[in-house]
Amino acid sequence: MKIFCTRMLVSKLLVFLVLLVLLEYRVIQGQQPYINNHQSDCYNTAYDNLTKGFGCNGVPSCQSYLTFRSNPLYNTAVGIGYLLGAEPTQIASINNLTSEVATIPTDTQLVVPVNCSCSSLYYQYNVTYRLKDKTETYFTVANNTFQGLSTCQAMMSQNKVGDRNLSVGLNLLVPLRCACPTSNQAASAIKYLLTYMVTWGDSISGIADLFGVDQQTILDANQLSQDQNIYPFTTILVPLNTTPTKIEHSPPPPPPPAPTPQTPPAVLENYTIMQRN
């Protein structure tokens, strides 16, 4: 009798554990794995699943957002809208710009709305880019011009012309990385996924602060763990419950108080991003 009971207990426990593992698996399956700097190796096909786009694992299309940093070539809502196939009026209103043609200071992070949709295996937003210079390659277009919002692997798989045969004036399809919420995410009130372009000095906790979201939801959405590195010019998905607004960086810390002999030096929090060679 006693042995029988123990067996029952053990088998129940096993069933419970199996269910737990299955549940965990489902949750992990529901999100998108982080690209982990594999976009930098254009001819490595081992990570196609990560580099070609975020897999279609939710609704077929959705409103989504991405971030872009203004630079001297793209420094107005009109210019950025032209590059990213987005509506200048929407860029201006989300980012509280005075007008669609007002010059945006260099390095301002902007939120840009795009319509994301599933194209066979991967979510993407198609834009066309006309090559301007003979030094341009799939890598420089994806990394430098589009700031990592696309990848050379995704571009090479969707354009017929080989990397060596690119020429000025050629129109290339640039699939921008975007994603739609999974049913798990929708169930936890996530409305949009914003494609955040990582830059030097970024950390997940810093990105979470920028959008007022919990750090753990970003880690989960990207299948990242707390101790993993993130790399510049890669994309991180930020799950949002509401429509994003202008990105406000917190003001610089107030100047330190007048030095007193006993005050130890202030220790600043510093997050570094490792650059893999």
Ligand X SMILES: *[C@@H]1O[C@H](CO)[C@@H](O)[C@H](O)[C@H]1NC(C)=O
Binding site for ligand X (CB under 6 A): 49, 55, 85-87, 96, 98, 115, 117, 119, 126, 143-144, 147, 158, 161-162, 164-165, 173, 201, 233, 246, 268, 270, 272
The distance of closest approach from Cβ of residue 9 to ligand X in the complex, given in angstroms and rounded to an integer, is: 36
Q: How far is the CB of 120 from ligand X (least distance, A)?
A: 7
Compare residues 11 and 209 and give the one whose CB is closer to ligand X.
Answer: 209
The closest of 253, 276, 275 to 266, measured between CA atoms, is 253
Nearby residues of 131 by Cβ (< 8 Å), 6 or more positions away: 141, 166, 167, 168, 169, 170, 171, 172
Minimum gap (Å) between residue 268 Cβ and ligand X: 5
Report the residue number whose CB is nearest to ligand X.
162
Cβ-contact 49, 239 below 8 angstroms: no
Distance CA 163, CA 190 (A): 39
Helix (H) or strand (E) holding 6: helix 2-29
- Residue 87, number of CB atoms within 10 A of its CB: 16
Residue 207, SS3 per DSSP:
helix
- Closest approach of Cβ 163 to ligand X, in Å? 7
Query: Closer CB to ligand X, residue 6 or residue 242?
Result: 242
Q: How far is the CB of 213 from ligand X (least distance, A)?
A: 18
Q: Which is nearer to ligand X, 2 or 105 (CB)?
A: 105
Q: Which residues contact 21 (CB under 8 A, 6 or more apart)?
A: none
Residue 144 or residue 171: which is nearer to ligand X going by CB? 144
Cβ proximity to ligand X: between 67 and 143 the closer is: 143
